[in-house]
Amino acid sequence: MSDHCGEVKTFVLDTNVLLHSSASVQCFKDNDVVIPMAVIEELDKFKKNSDELGRNARRVIRYLDRLREEFPGCAGDPDKGLPLSSISQETCGKLFVISAGAADEASINEADRAFDNDLLLDSPDNRILRVACFLRNRGRNVIFISKDINLRLKADALGLPVMDFERQKVKNFDRYTGFQDSAVDGSLVDEAYSKKELPGEKFPDLPDNGFILLTSNADERKSVVMRKHAGGNLLMLPHRVEKVWNLSPRNKEQRMALDLLLDPEVKLVTLLGGAGTGKTLLALAAALQQTLHENIYEKILVSRPIIPLGNDIGFLPGSKESKLSSWMQPIFDNLEFLLGGEEERKPKSSSRYSTEGLMNSHKLDLEALTYIRGRSIPRQFIIIDEAQNLTPHEVKTIISRCGSDSKMVLTGDPAQIDNPYLDASGNGLSYAADRLKGESIFGHVTLQRSERSELAALAAKKL
């Protein structure tokens, strides 16, 4: 690797970057990419996994093996490297695999010596940092890329420029709520009430399936909520919505969400919101209505990532259904509420029996996301709960399973993420909502007010 500074940067990648996205080595355009030997060793530990981490590890290993075969002896050569243009036309930099052995004591400068005892070679993370320090001290414009917050802190303490991997992060993710407010002349509100629609060219910035709350300048009490349909016109939402499977919307955001959920032309809906805002409940109510009453879909498929809150309870005995029942208890809670009806809130109502009846008749299926890869799912109402714990690639894989005449709903709260390498702007739910906004078959609403109970609303606001 030649000693030069200037425009070419050298990105040193941590293992978790490659496990998060196997295509990350192709994302740095004309800059150089370095994979420390310790990263290769850690990838080897994941390659046999059957989950997304294992698949990404295998893809990266195959990339490296393909380049090694085309350019033998170049990976570890500091003056040659492997041309990344061989695996991506958009990339013209070079890929290097560097051992921590190259970063011997002579390569650690005086500024680093205070940390030398903390960078022992028995730790893979320390060996990765030694490679980055070694290249930095040779004059390279090094940037260390990691999704591990602690490792970024250690790198920063060593004077290394650090970054998170932001290729699939959403900028200003919290600004797109699916609806907007607009103060207009009162005559426009009157026109909306009389005609029930407005021409779309009046609001050119409103995306397809986006909502707008028009409020009169003269009287704030005079307002109307409208949705821009794929045809271009804005249609008015009724002030009073009939109950959808024993459920009535309690605020304007819930009205918007139900409007999207009950529209078969909208094939994908993302619902974001805090605890108690009604994301899952609304999705299940719409699914029951359109599957059991309207026969638009043949069955309901519900799935959610198996990521526990707190310490895991370990392996569970029994069949797949009995194992999933513990993870799907939040779904059962919502179904009991919906199937029981507002006048039938009895301690031992028939709601659980009805839930079991739906499962026995195969009108309701519970599925682990592990088994969704490779499937094609037609004529089903698919609900993916807690989708904020999925990576952008996992969400892409799940959405691509949607078959003909199916509808998919992704729900979640980006503020409650249990995956250690995801955050509010880098998870699959936020990414999908941002990338797909404006598409004619996609709709999004951010639910803002907790309606679960007075106590739940207080906790969401104050704690």
User: Three-state SS string across the chain, please?
Assistant: CCCCCCCCCEEEECHHHHHHCCCHHHCCCCCEEEEEHHHHHHHHHHCCCCCHHHHHHHHHHHHHHHHHHHCCCCCCCCCCCEEHHHCCCCCCCEEEEECHHHCCHHHCCHHHHHHHCCCCCCCHHHHHHHHHHHHHHCCCCEEEECCCHHHHHHHHHCCCCEECCCCCCCCCHHHCCCEEEEEECHHHHHHHHHHCEECHHHCCCCCCCCEEEEEECCCCCCEEEEEECCCCCEEECCCCCCCCCCCCCCCHHHHHHHHHHCCCCCCEEEEEECCCCCHHHHHHHHHHHHHHHCCCCCEEEEECCCCCCCCCCCCCCCCHHHHHHHHCHHHHHHHHHHHHCCCCCCCCCCHHHHHHHHHHCCCEEECCHHHCCCCCECCEEEEECCHHHCCHHHHHHHHCCECCCCEEEEEECCCCCCCCCCCCCCCHHHHHHHHHCCCCCEEEEEECCCCCCHHHHHHHHHC
* 373 has a pLDDT exceeding 70: yes
Task: Judge whether residue 366 has pLDDT over 60.
Answer: yes
263/343: higher pLDDT: 263
pLDDT band at 153 (very low <50, low <70, confident <90, very high): very high
Report the mean per-residue pLDDT for the chain.
84
pLDDT of residue 182: 94
| pLDDT tens per residue across span 51-109 | 788 889 999 999 899 888 888 888 777 678 888 888 777 778 899 998 876 555 445 55
**Does the pLDDT of residue 318 top 80, yes or no?**
no
pLDDT for 105 equals 47
> According to the model, what pLDDT value does residue 239 have?
73
Task: Find the range with the poorest average confidence among 130-139, 216-225, 276-285.
Answer: 130-139
The answer, yes or no, to whether residue 363 has pLDDT greater than 80, is yes
Q: How confident is the model at residue 176, as a pLDDT?
A: 82
- pLDDT single digits (tens) 111-142: 455 456 566 777 899 899 989 988 888 889 99
How confident is the model over 264-292, as a mean pLDDT? 95
Q: Is the pTM of this model over 0.75?
A: yes
Q: Averaged over 409-434, what is the pLDDT?
A: 89
